[in-house]
Amino acid sequence: MRGVRRTENGIEVVDLPRPEADGVRIKVQSIGICQTDLNLTAMGPLQFTLGHEFAGVLDDGTPVGVQPTVPCGQCELCRNGDSVWCVEGYSRLIGIGQDGGMADEVIVPASSIVPLPRGLDATNGANLIEPLAIHLHTLDLARATGRTRILVVGANQSGFGVIAVAAALARGGEHVDFEGDRAFQREAAARLGAGVEPSGQYDLVIEADGSEESIHKAAEWARPGGTLALVAGYYTPKTWNFTTAFVKELTVVFGAFYGHSATGRDVDAAATLLGRNPRIAEIVNTHRFPLDAAAEAFEFARSDSESLKVVIEP
């Protein structure tokens, strides 16, 4: 079968043996390219198949999404119900530490399966369960309430900030604004219901770009005593002059994963939201490439293209 890997030659579609392991086989139908994929593959060759934002069908044709984290279940955090912070975290993450879904087929643990609600399709939308779940989880960590003025700063190269807008609006942000450099990003955020001319200060600022400049700007937008959520994926060292955050006594939270909230798994909440509001996928999934053109898809996502989420289809 085909699988997409980062080899010595860059992004390549390679021939791989059909996966055989314990778990549930998924015939993959859609995979989103994430900023994390762009960052990791820029660092050099990787030993596993890419793809952690994917959906597909089971052997019997049932469409499903996937929660790519595979907590060990053994460490103290897992045993205490905090598997979101499992000590083995990244090394067991599907598509980041082990073979992912940028392939014709993949086998995942049964616990990773996300049933899809009516209105959510494995070919369009279910690829957004994972990034949306990160934002829902982060909003919980930030204790965002329905009366919060929220600003999202930056969208990054995979539309992550626009997905944050959808999450913030769904969690009842009374007033959600988006600040982005590029007109197509602002237009997408506005279509979802965000204001795009930020003003004043915000109870919660979500930094979704990842640059030092954006982190600094985000702290400036936060009100004294407010919260700064850093979600953009920080895989290289950042220098941050946090004097502004200090004098405002900001609460700083990082959001990288998803797990359980009081009401269930974040991935299931994300699937429900995507099913209820098909406009999110319509607006965020801006481009599609066949799996054989994965190298072009990565190049396109990395370029100055007017893209949010670039989706690969086996």
CA distances from 293 to 14, 45, 69, 86, 102 (A): 12, 19, 27, 35, 12
**86 versus 222: smaller Cβ distance to Zn ion:** 86
**34 versus 269: smaller Cβ distance to Zn ion:** 34
User: Shortest approach of Zn ion to residue 59 CB, angstroms?
Assistant: 26
β-bridge pairing 202-207 and 222-230 = parallel
User: Shortest approach of Zn ion to residue 290 CB, angstroms?
Assistant: 21
Q: Hey, which residues between 78 and 137 contact Zn ion (CB under 5 A)?
A: 78, 86
Q: Hey, which residues between 33 and 52 contact Zn ion (CB under 5 A)?
A: 34, 36
**Helices (H), strands (E): how many in the chain?**
10, 16
53 — phi, psi (to 5°)?
A: -110, 85
Q: Any contact of residue 252 with Zn ion (CB under 5 A)?
A: no
Q: Any contact of residue 75 with Zn ion (CB under 5 A)?
A: yes
**64 versus 70: smaller Cβ distance to Zn ion:** 70
* Contact residue for Zn ion among 16, 38, 46, 72 (CB under 5 A): 72
User: Shortest approach of Zn ion to residue 95 CB, angstroms?
Assistant: 8
**72 versus 295: smaller Cβ distance to Zn ion:** 72
> Which token pair is 35?
């900023």
Q: Tell me the C-alpha distance between 255 and 235, whole Å.
A: 13
Do 160 and 32 touch, CB atoms closer than 8 A? no
Q: Any contact of residue 58 with Zn ion (CB under 5 A)?
A: no
Q: Report the interface residues with Zn ion, using CB under 5 A.
A: 34, 36, 71-72, 75, 78, 86
